[in-house]
Amino acid sequence: MAEPAWDPGAFKARVDAVLRDFTAREADGLTDVDASLAPVAEQLETAVAHGKRLRAAFCYWGWRGGGQPDSDALVRAAASMELVHAAAVVHDDLIDDSPLRHGRPSAHRALRSAVPDHPRPAGAARSLAMLVGDLLMSLAGQLFVTSGLPAAYLGRARPLWAALARDLVAGECLEILRTGTVPDTAASLKVIRYKTAKYTVEQPLLIGGALAGAGPRLAEGYAAYGLPLGEAFQLRDDLLGLFGDPERTGKATADDLRGRRPTALLAETWRAADTGERARLGVLLGREDTDPEDVRALMRGLKAPERVEDLIAARVEEALRALDELDAPPAAVAALTSLAHSASTRLS
């Protein structure tokens, strides 16, 4: 009998329930310490309240691709990937001073109201947000090890957690180090690979596979699929960051411009520009009051968005070719094919 088609909505609901219950208990633990911690506890819960749960889905199908059945314990372990993401988002918004996330004030902005009497309220709010991000990363490990999976299974994935954390920090540091330098597509793609691609697709898949006891061949297939797809995911995010609908993305469209972040979109614009266009771009990026539409017009004229679309399409094609070679159950291949399209063609 054929297995029923995967229902992404039902899976998301399972992950949401795990995260909601887990963070609610942890938030209660904070307010038990002191009632004044309520705003911090609220941000802990807010940080995990939204999301497509793609990282959890990749972990889940890494497990299922290894021949393992559906498991509530595995869903709990997979949900820990979303806590990693929540931590990364809080830290990223803090580093970039992004004002919005999911259409709401980012954590470091929201927490200003918690410190009205502090002599440096903005700095204090940033410190609180940093600690919320740190706690989320710690809780990710806690949820993983208390998921209910056998200790032997968890032990197989432990080294991958260390790699995940190292690569994520490396990517964030590379972005900071590259910001403001001459735009370069290869350098931007390296930032993407380590800051987002690995922890979004490749490493959740590999962790799910390790939990399932997958062999080296399957792990190689997961990496061959996951890394290019993760890069496509972030390239799409870069496009949405400037050309997307803020009502859908929930983020300010000028964030990447204001911060002069080393996106591939900016690098492809720079690569296609002549001397005069580069000078014009430099002036636009150097002004606080620049209208983002002026930059968008320059990028459109140089066909930079189309160039990034080509980069996305090439990476999705590479990922799907890797799936053709993957020795995994048909249900897993079908789900990973669907996830490749959802990750690369989304509008938010």
CATH code at 8-345: 1.10.600.10
Q: Which two tokens stand for residue 299?
A: 């990028």
Query: What pLDDT is stored for residue 252 in this prediction?
Result: 65
In the chain, where the domains are located: 8-345
**Nearest alpha carbon to residue 261 among 26, 63, 41, 93:** 93
pTM above 0.85, yes or no: yes
DSSP code at position 111: G
Query: What pLDDT is stored for residue 39 in this prediction?
Result: 97
The residue type of 39 is P
Regarding beta strands 100-101 and 104-105, do their DSSP bridges make them parallel or antiparallel, or are they unpaired? antiparallel
- Give the 3-state secondary structure of residue 160: helix
Query: What pLDDT is stored for residue 1 in this prediction?
Result: 47
Query: What pLDDT is stored for residue 249 in this prediction?
Result: 72
Query: What pLDDT is stored for residue 194 in this prediction?
Result: 96
The residue type of 163 is A
Q: For residue 100, what are the β-bridge partners?
A: 105
Cα(226)–Cα(245) distance, integer angstroms = 27
Q: pLDDT tens string for the chain (348 positions)?
A: 456 778 999 999 999 999 999 999 999 999 999 999 999 999 999 999 999 999 999 999 999 999 999 999 999 999 999 999 999 999 999 998 888 888 899 999 999 999 999 999 999 999 999 999 999 999 999 999 999 999 999 999 999 999 999 999 999 999 999 998 999 999 999 999 999 999 999 999 999 999 999 999 999 999 999 999 999 999 999 999 889 888 777 666 666 676 678 899 999 999 999 999 999 998 898 788 888 899 999 999 999 999 999 999 999 999 999 999 999 999 999 999 999 999 998 877
Q: Please list, in sequence order, all residues whose beta carbon lies within 8 angstroms of the beta carbon of residue 71, skipping any fewer than 6 positions away.
A: 63, 149
Beta strands in the chain (DSSP E): 100-101, 104-105
Asked if 148 contacts 73 with a C-beta cutoff of 8 angstroms, the reply is yes
